[in-house]
Copies of this chain bind each other. A is one copy, B any other.
Amino acid sequence: MFNDFKITENRPIYIQLKEYLKRMITNGHLIENQKLPSTRELSSLLSISRNTVLTAYADLEQEGLIYAVKGKGNFVSRVETFKSLSIQLNWTDKVNEQTLLADELDLKKHGMRWNKEFISFNSIAPDEKLFDVGNFKRAFLNRMSMEGDIVLNYGYAKGYQPLIEYLLHYMEIKGVDTRNKDILITNGFTEGLDLILSSLTKKNGRVLCENPTNDSALKLFRLHGFEIDGIEMDNDGVNIRQLETLLSKKEYDFAYLIPSYHNPTGIVTSSQKRKEIMDLFSAYQLPIIENGFNEELRYSGSHLASLASFAGQGNNVIYISSFSKILFPGLRVGWILADKELINFLESMKRARTIHTSTLDQAVLYQYLNDGYFEKYLKKAKSVYKRKHELTVHYCQQFIPFKRLTGDGGLHLFIELEDHIDARKLLEKCYQKGVVFLPGNIFHTDNSGHHTLRLGFSRLTEREIIDGIKIIGDTLKNNYGG
């Protein structure tokens, strides 16, 4: 007995001993009224200090797990450990259709597995080598020293007030008329979209979006039971004629659009087209959910206003964004900017479902933004990503026989191959050579796009980008000629 007690590093030993004994008691290996070794015996047996044993015993006594008898020693208390008749429910039978669908649509579960030696074009997450850990620590310590008790305590469903004010100002600078608007802080972009979808009446049960569009939004539309109509993408944004036709033929609840550095195509909707879109939706009195996504990752070209700016005093644009995509995805902080009335409703839904977003995350992010670290980080990140973007474009043009290549900025490119090429089959072949990418049909509303693929380059080195593209190009040529 006690010879299976193993000490692990970096954790107080008295806690380890206490937990070890507690486990022996709760699982019945030490039984009621059994005498424990004296503190002296146990300290010698386990080669630990007697004080450690004393502290562990005192804690166990305080927790009611052992009792001391003066002059006699320590004994195990009565601990009910009787087990009920153990029953086995079949949980697959107990969960609903939506949950089964969530499981089925879960790409992380069903996607290809690869190891760290692979060149993976799957990710469009920021490059962790760029992470500004030093200034992040500074922002944390700054904020904690100012109001550590507030940072660690309950916050408000709407969000951390200094961050809300910062973001309202941030949107104003971008040209958004914020007078009758408000902000709700969410656990990243995804919770924002989910809250909105949970709150809007499914009057027609139909949504318009770009085709292709980002997979996490598609998944949420499907989970919420929406019928999805996708609009084809020209090189300057959605095809307006197709949009007009659809709007005139069917009734929609809203549109979901990503005007800047669209995911997955990387297309930036032109200013002219933004105006046309807004005019159409105003005429049809329809809301637009605008995904602000990588709006900040503009490498060149003129300033482009968000749809929320074009809306002016109008209230039909619901703008969702997040800095996580560029900055720190480990912090789950996003925001919704929308009409005050709508934000007021979403606030109650948010409170009911997750109380509020981590105050710690919000407060440190606020400090980081306010101290100007984000500006500096963005400059550095943009110069690195710009270089990777140019490199990826250059090598794709050189090695991949594509029909169409899009991506004006951001962290990925989108490639359309000749119609007869199946990107999934290409992926299987590239996989054997240690290269993976995302086949484009997962982004399509109608399961089309079998001949398309997305290349995320943000986390790859320049060497990996070049090698990876060459391998994809070679595989294409070897299998389909070229």
Residues of B within 8 A of A109 (CB): 348
The 8 Å CB contact of A149, one of B131, B303, B358, is B131
Per-residue interface assignment for chain A, residues 39 to 76, with 1 indicating a CB less than 8 Å from any chain B CB and 0 otherwise = 00000000000000000000100111100000000000
- Decide if A225 is an interface residue (CB 8 Å cutoff): no
Cα of A356 to Cα of B189 in the assembled complex, Å: 12
Q: A113 interface residue, CB < 8 Å from B?
A: no
A169 to B15 Cα, complex, angstroms: 13
User: Across the two chains, which residue of chain B brings its CB closest to A180?
Assistant: B88
User: Which residues 350-379 of A sit at the B interface, judged by CB distance below 8 A?
Assistant: 351-361, 364, 370-372, 375, 379
- Number of this chain's copies in the complex: 2
Q: Which residues of B contact A86 (CB under 8 A)?
A: 282, 311-315
Interface bits A169-196 vs B (CB < 8 Å: 1, else 0): 1001111000000000001101100100
Contact: B84 with A278, CB < 8 Å? Answer: yes
Size of interface on A: residues with Cβ below 8 Å to B: 137
Are B330 and A199 closer than 8 Å at their CB atoms? Answer: no
Given contacts A87-B314, A345-B102, A361-B361, contact A354 B187 (CB under 8 A): yes
Give residues of chain A (21-45) contacting chain B, Cβ–Cβ below 8 Å: 22-23, 25-27
Chain B neighbourhood of A216, CB < 8 A: 352, 355
Q: Report the bound CA distance from A375 to B59 in whole Å.
A: 10
Which among A175, A220, A311 has the greatest number of chain B C-beta atoms within 10 A? A175
Query: Which residues in chain A, 129-167, are within 8 Å of chain B measured between CB atoms?
Result: 129, 131, 133, 136-137, 140-141, 144, 148-155, 157
23 A-B Cβ contacts within 8 A? A79-B175, A80-B271, A84-B310, A86-B311, A88-B314, A89-B287, A90-B341, A91-B339, A96-B199, A96-B201, A98-B198, A102-B351, A108-B157, A125-B153, A125-B154, A128-B149, A128-B150, A129-B149, A131-B148, A152-B331, A154-B330, A190-B353, A360-B361
